[in-house]
Amino acid sequence: MRIAVLRERRTGERRVALLPEQLPRLLAAGVEVSVESGAGNEAGATDDDYRAVGAQVSEDVLTGADVVVSVQPINLSTARQIGEGVVTVSFLPTAEEVPLVRRLRERRITSFSMDLVPRTARAQPMDALSSQSMVAGYRGAIVAAERLQRFFPLFMTAAGTVRPATVLVLGAGVAGLQAIATARRLGAVVEAYDVRESSAEEVASVGGKFVQLDLPPLAGAGGYAREMTEERATRQRELLAPHVAAADVLITTAAVPGRTAPVLVTTDMVAGMRAGSVVVDLAADQGGNVEGSIPGHEVMVEGVLVWGGSNVPSQLPRPASELYGHNVVNVLLLMLRVGALHLDFGDDILSATCVTHAGEVVHRPTLELLG
């Protein structure tokens, strides 16, 4: 059996699905690995590094591949080059990839989406959404510290005392908690808010101070948040406005599964911050938590710098690939039995992550989406 590691095609994607150090676990399971030439370049892994651990490196990895792994979904033309029954493993946000899902079905490709890994204890080593959110949260705090024209920590020196920066984090899921922890390590005073009830304890556990608003929690299914009503959104913005105005740095990460990101902060609220403050919107790719943020751009709003994140995990390609690759290896090992591909759809992780198989869309919400 042969696993092919693709060179990423999507502009700006610098990660690779598997790094050389991750291959021994697969090779030991009795499979061959071929790596498309240059696949690891942006993540700091050369073709020779892959060869050194026993992979083949070539320009054509699709011919003879049983499993094709990538970070981003394969594109339509790659899907045309893949044969029936071949397995793909990648992120595959099906709502954004409807034409590709149709092509995968038509080509009878068996596709698995890393976006669909269930959030169960057993699936944690495969949870790529969490691993990449962690990278994004860390990067968000570092970007803010670098852009802010003042110190994060308190300094007490003979030349005087400098107060620490105040960081406000909105949305304290995996990315938000990592942003809080990183900003704390840099010495900032950190406050955070989230709509989930369990959040106060989680924020405190990484050294943040939870902002209590006079609003009911908004828990949805599976530990995720629910969408806000317009009335709730307006009230939440009113209550958060003084906290936003007092912050030197605002980092936003709020998301609701299957929806565009909620607008938590208006342009007026940004304009109410001190000149020189920094806003990092990690949800910019999903529509943005901050009005006016643009993915991949920095804009100035009344002296406040607003940084819109775009594929933020890819900005730290090496560690992001290390974590993603680890997740992918664990998924692949579920599919192997004595060196051969063995798809056991009785396995809850494999059944939850499969999007297309044998000419059918097997992921029910995606099937409904296709109509």
- Residues annotated as catalytic are 119, 124, 127, 130, 224
Q: Does 130 bind ligand NAD (CB under 6 A)?
A: yes
Q: Considering only residues 102-121, where is the footprint of ligand NAD by CB under 6 A? A: 119
Q: Does 124 bind ligand NAD (CB under 6 A)?
A: yes
DSSP codes, 142-210 = HHHHHHSSS-SS-EEETTEEEPPPEEEEE--SHHHHHHHHHHHHTT-EEEEE-SSTTHHHHHHHTT-EE
DSSP codes, 148-159 = SSS-SS-EEETT
- Count Cβ atoms below 10 Å from residue 166 Cβ, excluding itself: 18
The least distance separating ligand NAD from the CB of residue 120, rounded to whole angstroms, comes to 6
Q: Does 262 bind ligand NAD (CB under 6 A)?
A: yes
Q: Does 172 bind ligand NAD (CB under 6 A)?
A: yes
Nearer to ligand NAD (CB atom), residue 67 or residue 323: 323
**Cβ within 8 Å of residue 205, ≥6 positions away:** none
Q: Does 174 bind ligand NAD (CB under 6 A)?
A: yes
Do 127 and 151 contact (CB within 8 A), yes or no? no
Q: Does 192 bind ligand NAD (CB under 6 A)?
A: no
| 3-state secondary structure (DSSP) of residue 266 | coil
The least distance separating ligand NAD from the CB of residue 214, rounded to whole angstroms, comes to 14
Q: Does 258 bind ligand NAD (CB under 6 A)?
A: no
**Angle subtended at Cα 116 by Cα 13 and Cα 79, rounded to the nearest 5 degrees:** 55
Q: Does 137 bind ligand NAD (CB under 6 A)?
A: no
Do 212 and 243 contact (CB within 8 A), yes or no? no
Residues binding ligand NAD: number (CB under 6 A): 28
Do 283 and 254 contact (CB within 8 A), yes or no? yes
Binding segment for ligand NAD (CB under 6 A), chosen from 24-32, 93-101, 256-264, 323-331, is: 256-264
Q: Which uninterrupted H or E stretch holds 244?
A: helix 230-246
Q: Does 312 bind ligand NAD (CB under 6 A)?
A: no
Q: Does 223 bind ligand NAD (CB under 6 A)?
A: yes
Cα end-to-end span (Å), the chain: 35
**Interface pick for ligand NAD out of 264, 269, 316, 354 (rule CB under 6 A):** 264
Task: Give the Cα separation of 131 and 254 in Å (integer).
Answer: 17
Residue 276: both structure tokens together: 């020189």
Residue 303: both structure tokens together: 């002296």
The least distance separating ligand NAD from the CB of residue 119, rounded to whole angstroms, comes to 4
Give me the residue whose beta carbon is nearest to ligand NAD.
Answer: 173
Do 324 and 71 contact (CB within 8 A), yes or no? yes
Site string for ligand NAD, 7-46 (x = CB under 6 A): ----------------------------------------
Q: Does 259 bind ligand NAD (CB under 6 A)?
A: no
Q: Which residues bind ligand NAD (CB under 6 A)?
A: 119, 124, 127, 129-130, 133, 170-176, 193-196, 223-225, 228, 253-257, 262, 264
